[in-house]
Amino acid sequence: MRTCSKVWAVALTVLLSAAAPAQALNIFACEPEWASLAKELAPDANIYSATTAYQDPHYVQARPSLIAKLRRADLFVCSGSELEIGWLPALQMRANNNKVRDGRPGAFYAAEQVERLDVLDKVDRSMGDVHASGNPHVHWSPVNIGLIADALAKRLVVIDPANSEQYQQRFASFSQRWQAHSDKWATQVSTLKGMPVVAYHTSYRYLFDWLGIEQVGDLEPKPGLPPTSGHLASLVSLHKQQPYQLIIYASYQDGKAADWLSSKTGTEVMQLPYSTDPEKEELIDLFALYQTVINQLVASVANNG
């Protein structure tokens, strides 16, 4: 009788193990744009974004809650190119998770998957807060998004080979939809080419490069330094010599300097969303984010034409 009970116990354990669902991946995204991309490719994963679209991704506090999330992560997806240099290494050290150490499959830097703009040979402190390895705001190029999605899907296959077919199918679907939208956007943005603007930081460097917009001035006197009265006065003088059509700043940046410059030059100020926001329909994913920004810029040109 005891032998029979043992046999049934073993059989029940095997059946329960077979029936138990595979544990979902835990993905830690440094920025919401990468959380959005990860959701496209791994919708069943537990995805956590360390920041929101309204936080400066350069400056994040290494909070205990973030450490706990990274400690449980199978994969992190971050911009890289030193964007998170002030906080991600501290998180990695305190989380003590071997899966997401640099050089391991669980450490994924988006900027490493694409050709970066503004790579510098030499950097010194007099240049301000510059990124020697290139501009890290790579999600503002539709070509970059396609390349990063491809690389991320392949990384997911390495980390979770049991679901490789799903990741490949999800990437194929995303890639097809992304290309269709990119083709549509290309027909909408022709009026933006050559438009001169002043912007805050180089947050939209890749966007401007894609659209042919020319950033003729920066609200920052040097990268990472807040606007000064003297520098803003020089932008007023610049407008007299070379009128710019827009003053642009991101949703995580302070608009006071932009508003002041607008009051002195009569130039329109535009706050652009920087990243996705799952709480807002117009920013719910990368498709919506791009379309919203394009709509804003095209409408401005039409209104001022």
Are 36 and 19 contacting, i.e. CB atoms less than 8 angstroms apart?
no
Q: How far is CA 202 from CA 55, 162, 222, 274, 293, in A?
A: 16, 40, 11, 12, 16
For residue 16, pLDDT beyond 80? no
Is the pLDDT at 18 greater than 90? The verdict is no
Average pLDDT, the chain: 91
Q: Would you place residue 223 in the very low, low, confident or very high pLDDT band (cuts 50, 70, 90)?
A: confident
What percent of the chain lies above the pLDDT cut of 90? Answer: 84
What is the percent of the chain with per-residue pLDDT over 70, rounded to a whole number?
A: 90
Neighbours of 22 (CB within 10 A): 9
Helix, strand, coil shares, percent, the chain, to 5: 50, 10, 35
Q: Phi-psi region for residue 151, left (φ > 0), alpha (ψ -120 to 50) or beta?
A: alpha
- pLDDT given for residue 12 in this prediction: 42
Q: Which of 121-125, 198-202, 204-208, 299-303 has the lowest mean pLDDT?
A: 121-125
- Confidence check: pLDDT of 119 > 90: no
Residues 6+ apart with CB under 8 A from 41: 149, 152, 153, 156, 167, 170, 171, 174
pLDDT tens, residue by residue, 157-198: 999 999 999 999 999 999 999 999 999 999 999 999 999 999
Residue 26's beta-bridge partner residues? 46
Cα dist from 58 to 126, 204, 253, whole Å: 19, 15, 12
**Banded pLDDT at 252 (limits 50, 70, 90):** very high
Lowest-confidence segment of 5-9, 149-153, 183-187, 298-302 by average pLDDT? 5-9
Beta-carbon contacts of residue 9 (< 8 Å; ≥ 6 apart): none
In this prediction, residue 124 carries a pLDDT of 58
Task: Determine the average pLDDT of the residues in 18-39.
Answer: 85
pLDDT at 14: 40
Say what the pLDDT of residue 123 is: 61
Average pLDDT of the residues in 135-144: 97
Q: Which two tokens stand for residue 148?
A: 């990063």
Those residues whose C-beta lies under 8 Å from the C-beta of residue 180, and which sit 6 or more positions away, are none
- The answer to which of 7-16, 179-188, 272-281 has the lowest mean pLDDT is 7-16
Rounded to an integer, the average pLDDT of 260-270 is 98
